[in-house]
Structure 1
Amino acid sequence: MKKVAFITGASRGIGRETALALARAGYDVAISARTMEEGETHAHAIAHADGSPLAGSLASTASAIRALGREVFAVRMDLLDEQSVRSAAAQVLEYFGRVDVLVNNAIYQGKDLNLPFMSLGHETLQRVFQGYVMAPVALTQAFLPTMLGQGGATIINVTSGAGESDPPVAAGKGGWGYAYGAGKAAVSRLSGVLVAEFGDQGIRAFTINPGVVTTEALRATIGDKGVIALRNGSAPPEIPAAVIRWLATTPEAARFQRRTIQAQSFALEQGIVSDWRVAAAEQS
């Protein structure tokens, strides 16, 4: 029987690399994001300094998946639109009939996400609540009945250090703001609840913190010089993608539930990847 993975935010970055990693592992793949075709623009999206949109689209990810010989279904989904979220889930189930792995990776990334506390407005907090709390919950609730009926599944929620600890400095000086930290804190609590309520029915759930990842969005935010400065403390998106694949496909991974997995150190400790930092140092 074919296995199906659904990855949100798969037009670029960690989501794209996760979709490819799971396709290589033998999964047919459903992918979602707002950007279906290259060059589209959207409200609250990160862009280059000149205002041009970042490279990446569901169409390009889907093409790469097909090149690996796997079936793919791409669906446009906007986290800030609950009807869009529920519709995407329904379309995936209609197309594939099952979901064996759900990766809640997509996030809201508006410019207001890390505003200082006294600058936070109601609209920002509403968007964060919809994108970080309601959307992952709605997706998971939509798939759980089918997952339970098929005998189990794996759910992987992508969090951040901002949801686990206090910022080192104030927002605006390099730290994160309350909105982002609160949103990711909510994500960090989801997997443990799912394991407690559904673990005895075949549901495995994991929380993963990718750490600093050199995605297109990071490059657009801090520039290539900033990425070079971070090189020894960052990883390419293939690293968290490899960890997600390992969690989804390795039976003994179950013992790493009920904790936050620090993807970069975990990848090395478990021998999932070779040390990418050595190659980066040699290129510098």
Structure 2
Amino acid sequence: MNKVAFITGASRGIGRAAALAFARAGYDVAISARTVEEGEQHPHALRQASGAPLAGSLTATAEAIRTLGARVLVVPMDLLDSSTAEEACATVLAEFGRIDVLVNNAIYQGSDLNATFMALQPDTLERMFKGYILTPFLLTRAVVERMLGQGAGVVINVTSGAGESDPPVAADQGGWGYAYGAGKAAVSRLSGMLSVELGERGIRAYTLNPGVVTTEALKATIGEQGVIALRAGSAPPEVPAAVMLWLAEDERAVKYQRRTLAAQPFALEHGIVADWR
């Protein structure tokens, strides 16, 4: 029986690249996101400058995975609807019977997350709580329960620098807002708790900071010229995806728990990918 990787936020960007990386490595793959078909409209979603939805969908990712000869299951899930989390886990287990790797990559990306402190509204914090804390908690708990029954499992939580430090400038000058920083700070604490409490029962958990990655979301945020300007300090999504696979597969990875790993220098230091710059 093949190992199974369940990757959230796999309609585009890092999640899509991770799904393809695990598929190439022989895993069966379950993928989730809100956008099942290309061009779907969703509230509180990033858009292109034209107002159009970002490119990418679960259907397109699934087609790419099938061309690699891997099995794939599409599981719609909305971080802002917490009831979909445990349902998604149950759907994956019904299809594959096990989950060996969970990648919590999906995020709520509403522009209101980066409101200044005095402009921040309570409903934004409620959405942040659902998207960054409650729904990932429910999904992870359901998956880890099965992993404990299997005797092993890997959880990889994707954070960002916003969850590790203060912004360099105010939110209205290009920094991040309290809501986004608080959400990512919560993500940064999850893996350590799992490692401390469940490590002796076979659960390995990692916190990964991808750094600046040239995804569709980044392009929508800063534009093509901004991406070109960042090129020397950014990486394609295949870089953090390769690190995720290494963490799941390499026997040396166990010692890199209970800390936040910076994906780009980590990939270079460990020879996981060739220098992409």
Q: 2:108 aligns to what? A: 108
In structure 2, the gaps of 5 or more residues are none
The C-alpha deviation readout for 1:198-241, integer Å capped at 9, x for no partner, is 10011000000000111001101111000011111111101100
Q: Distance in 2 between matches of 1:210 and 1:111?
A: 20
The reply to whether residue 260 of structure 1 matches residue 272 of structure 2 is no
TM-score by length of 2: 0.99
Q: 1:23 aligns to what? A: 23
Deviation of 1:109 after TM superposition, in Å, equals 0.2
The C-alpha deviation readout for 1:58-104, integer Å capped at 9, x for no partner, is 00000111111110000110000011122111111111111000000
List aligned pairs for 1:158-169, cutoff 5 A. 158-169=158-169
Please give the root-mean-square deviation of Cα atoms over the aligned residues, in Å.
0.7
Give every structure 1 segment of 4 or more consecutive aligned residues whose post-TM-superposition deviation is greater than 2 Å: none
The reply to whether residue 35 of structure 1 matches residue 23 of structure 2 is no
Q: Distance in 1 between matches of 2:194 and 2:112?
A: 30
List aligned pairs for 1:36-185, cutoff 5 A. 36-185=36-185
Pairs aligned (count): 277
TM-score by length of 1: 0.96
| Residue aligned with 1:169, SS | coil
Q: 1:204 aligns to what? A: 204
The reply to whether residue 235 of structure 1 matches residue 259 of structure 2 is no
Deviation of 1:49 after TM superposition, in Å, equals 1.2
The C-alpha deviation readout for 1:6-56, integer Å capped at 9, x for no partner, is 000000000000000001111000000000011111001111111111110
Q: Distance in 2 between matches of 1:61 and 1:267?
A: 24
The C-alpha deviation readout for 1:155-176, integer Å capped at 9, x for no partner, is 0000000000010010011110
Q: Distance in 1 between matches of 2:194 and 2:163?
A: 18
Deviation of 1:272 after TM superposition, in Å, equals 0.4
| Residue aligned with 2:109, SS | coil
Counterpart of 1:145, as a letter, is E
Q: Distance in 1 between matches of 2:130 and 2:262?
A: 25
| Residue aligned with 1:119, SS | coil
Counterpart of 1:4, as a letter, is V
Q: Distance in 2 between matches of 1:135 and 1:245?
A: 24
| Residue aligned with 1:157, SS | strand
Q: 1:247 aligns to what? A: 247
Q: 2:221 aligns to what? A: 221
Deviation of 1:151 after TM superposition, in Å, equals 1.2
Q: 1:9 aligns to what? A: 9
| Residue aligned with 2:111, SS | coil
Q: Distance in 1 between matches of 2:253 and 2:144?
A: 20
Q: Distance in 2 between matches of 1:104 and 1:33?
A: 11
